Structure formats: structure tokens, C-alpha cells
Amino acid sequence: MDLRSYVRENQHIMTFVQQATPGVIDKYVGTLDYATARFNTILLKLSQDPLRADTHKHEIDDCFRTIQTFYEDTKRYLMWPYVFKPIIMIKLHLTGKTKIPKIKLLLEKINN
């Protein structure tokens, strides 16, 4: 994938974040908002340096898949029956603690 396709694929996530009802799932929407903003900043910086983008291609793809997974699980949390919500909450928590911080680390790595 080129960098533009990542941005196009994340458009529906940004729309979801903008249209989310306040108070319902604030922490998940906030995490999506920050992660997507950081990811878009990474893409913007790497679009200026294509050689550097090639060196971080695997990390970019991993971050993209993490954001997509977190978004899908957030949608599941909203739509699935109450019985399954604790399972989805645990999955969201684990993704938020283990995989989402990798986006921030990649941004810091690119800034330095």
C-alpha cells in the first residue's frame, strides 16, 4: 500500500470519531482519535521522505492494522449484545495497552 491508501482507509474511522455520541464510549473514541491523528502525522512526515518510509513500511502496516482492529472492536462493543461486552472490553483494553503505544513510539522514532 502507498501512504495515500492508508489515509483513505482511515477516513471512515475519522467520520466515526466525529459522529460519536459523547459519554457513551469516550475512552475508546478518544483512543481512536489520538491513534489516528498520530498515524496521520507519521504518514505526513514519511510522505516527505520516501526512503525513510520504505524502512518503516512494516511498522506502518502494523500500526494501520492495529487501528483497524481497534475500530472494529469498538463497533462490536456498540452493536453486540450485552452478554459479549465484557469480552470485547477486555480485548479493547489489551489492544490499548499493548499495541496502541507502538504508534506513539513510531512517531517518536520518526521525529528523532
In tens digits, the chain (112 residues) has pLDDT values of: 678 888 889 999 999 988 887 776 788 888 999 999 999 999 999 999 888 888 999 999 999 999 999 999 999 988 889 898 899 999 999 999 999 999 999 999 998 8
Question: What does the alpha-carbon distance between residue 61 and residue 11 come to, in Å, rounded to a whole number?
Answer: 16
DSSP alpha helix (H) spans, the chain: 3-9, 11-19, 26-47, 50-55, 57-79, 85-98, 101-111
Q: What confidence score (pLDDT) does residue 24 get?
A: 66
Res 3: pLDDT: 83
Q: What is the pLDDT of residue 67?
A: 95
Q: Domain limits of the chain?
A: 3-111
| Predicted pLDDT of residue 112 | 82
> What's the confidence (pLDDT) of residue 80?
86
- Torsion from C-alpha of 27, 31, 34, 37, nearest 10 degrees: -130
Predicted TM-score (pTM) of this structure: 0.89
Left, alpha or beta for 23 (phi > 0: left; psi -120 to 50: alpha)? left
